[in-house]
Amino acid sequence: MTYARKTQISLKDTPYYHCVARCVRRAWLWGYDEYADKDYSHRKNWVIERLCELVEVFAIEICAYAVLSNHYHLVVHVNTAQARQWDDEEVIRRWKAIFGIPTLVARYLGNESITRAERAVAKEIIATWRSRLMDVSWFMRCLNEHLARRANAEDRVTGRFWEGRFKSQALLDEAGLLTAMAYVDLNPIRAGIAQSPETSEFTSIYERIRAIKKQQTKGPTLRKFADQSKQHSLPCSQADYLTLLDWTGRAIRNDKRGHIDQTLPPILTRLNIDPDAWRETMKPQGNVFGRALGQLDHLRLHAKALGQHWIKGLRQAERMYRRA
C-alpha cells in the first residue's frame, strides 16, 4: 500500500529521516553492470558532488550516507530553526543557486519601485521558497532529477532512471537515529564490498575517518557529533559512534554468539539496546522496520498521530529497545 508523503514526513514528530532511492529494475547503474558489460562506478561521484551543492542551499543536514551500485541511503536532519532565521535576501540567494527567479522577485531584491500588491506577491513567493528549502521531498527531487538527467544524457536514452519515488523512514528518537546511521554506514560491509569502515568508500563514515586523520575529503558537510559542537549536534560522541561501528562490523562478520562480549560498546547500554537484536538488524535485510524507526512507545505514538492502529516494526522495537 502506498502512503501519502505528508503522512511519512512530519516535522512535528521528528526532524530526522532515513531516505532510500533505487535505480529502475534494480539495475547496477552506479557500478559495474555485468549484463551490459559497462562500468558506471564514476557516477557515484555525481551523488557526492550534488549532495555537496544541495547542503549549501537547503536547511537540511546530512547525518549519514552510503552510495552503492544500484541504490543510495541518506540520513538527514531538517534544520527548521536555521531556515526561519534567514532573511528574504538569503532565501532568494539560496533558491537562485538552483532555480531561476521571476522578474518580480528580482525587482523586489533590487529595491526597485513596486506596488504594495506586487510586494505582497513577492513575499508570498519567498515564503514558499523558504518552506521548500526545508522540505525533504524537494531536497530529494533536486537530487534525483539532476542525477537522472545526467545519467540519461550520458547513455543517450530517455525514460525513468529511478524505480519510483524515494522511500523515507521517520527516526523518532536517539535509538532510532543511531540504528539508521549505523545501518547506512555499514552498508558496504554488509554487502561484502568493504572489510572495514575506513575502506568503505562513498560513505559518510569513510569521510569522517579521513577527516580525523586529516586526510583530504570530498563529501558533503556532515552534521557534527555532540563532542564536536555544543549546539545542533548528533546525540552521542564521535568516539562512541566509531566504537559502535567497529564492534558491529566485527560482530556481523564473525557472528559471535553464546558468550558475553567484553567489548560491548557502552552506548548500547545507555540507550538500552539489546546487542543480539542490534546485530540482527545490522545484517543484510535486517532492518524490518517500516515507515518509522524508534522505541516501542514512540512508534505507537507516531502511529496514533497518523490515525493508524498499527505500524510495522512494533515487535522488533519491543525486542531491540528495552525499557530503562
Distances (CA, A) of 267 to 149, 214, 230: 42, 26, 19
- Phi, psi (degrees; rounded to nearest 5) at 100: -80, 165
In a domain, 95, yes or no: yes
From the list 285, 288, 282, the residue with the least C-alpha distance to 318 is: 288
Q: Is 227 exposed, middle or buried (0-12, 13-18, 19+ CB in 10 A)?
A: middle
Q: Residue 103: left if φ>0, alpha if ψ -120 to 50, beta else—which one?
A: alpha
Last residue of a domain, one of 94, 117, 132: 132
Query: Do 110 and 245 reside in the same domain of the chain?
Result: no
In a domain, 190, yes or no: yes
Q: Judging by DSSP bridges, how do beta strands 292-293 and 167-171 pair with one another?
A: parallel
The model's pTM is 0.88
Query: Do 214 and 282 reside in the same domain of the chain?
Result: yes
Structural domain of 259: 9-79+135-320
In a domain, 224, yes or no: yes
In a domain, 20, yes or no: yes
Query: Do 70 and 102 reside in the same domain of the chain?
Result: no
Query: Do 160 and 291 reside in the same domain of the chain?
Result: yes
Query: Do 218 and 115 reside in the same domain of the chain?
Result: no
In a domain, 2, yes or no: no
Last residue of a domain, one of 116, 132, 148: 132
Q: Output the pLDDT for position 238.
A: 93
What does the pLDDT profile of the chain (324 residues) look like in tens digits?
A: 455 555 567 788 899 999 999 998 667 777 877 767 788 899 999 999 999 999 999 999 999 999 998 899 999 999 999 999 999 999 999 999 999 999 999 999 888 888 999 999 999 999 999 999 999 999 999 999 999 999 999 989 888 899 888 999 999 999 999 999 999 999 998 888 888 888 899 999 999 999 999 999 999 999 999 888 767 789 889 999 999 998 888 776 655 443 445 577 888 888 888 888 888 888 776 666 778 888 888 888 888 877 777 788 788 888 888 665
In a domain, 4, yes or no: no
Query: Do 180 and 247 reside in the same domain of the chain?
Result: yes
Contact 61, 222 (CB under 8 A): yes
Q: Output the pLDDT for position 316.
A: 82
Query: Do 111 and 127 reside in the same domain of the chain?
Result: yes
Q: Output the pLDDT for position 288.
A: 61
In a domain, 3, yes or no: no
3-class secondary-structure state, position 314: helix
Query: Do 95 and 181 reside in the same domain of the chain?
Result: no
Contact 217, 211 (CB under 8 A): yes
Query: Do 270 and 222 reside in the same domain of the chain?
Result: yes
Domain count, the chain: 2
In a domain, 192, yes or no: yes
Instruction: Name residue, grid cell 519491543.
Output: 318
Q: Output the pLDDT for position 260.
A: 41
Instruction: Name residue, grid cell 535576501.
Output: 89
From the list 229, 282, 235, 231, the residue with the least C-alpha distance to 254 is: 282
Instruction: Name residue, grid cell 562506478.
Output: 41
Query: Do 27 and 120 reside in the same domain of the chain?
Result: no
Query: Do 176 and 28 reside in the same domain of the chain?
Result: yes
Residue 203 corresponds to which cell in the numbers above?
560513505
Query: Do 194 and 291 reside in the same domain of the chain?
Result: yes
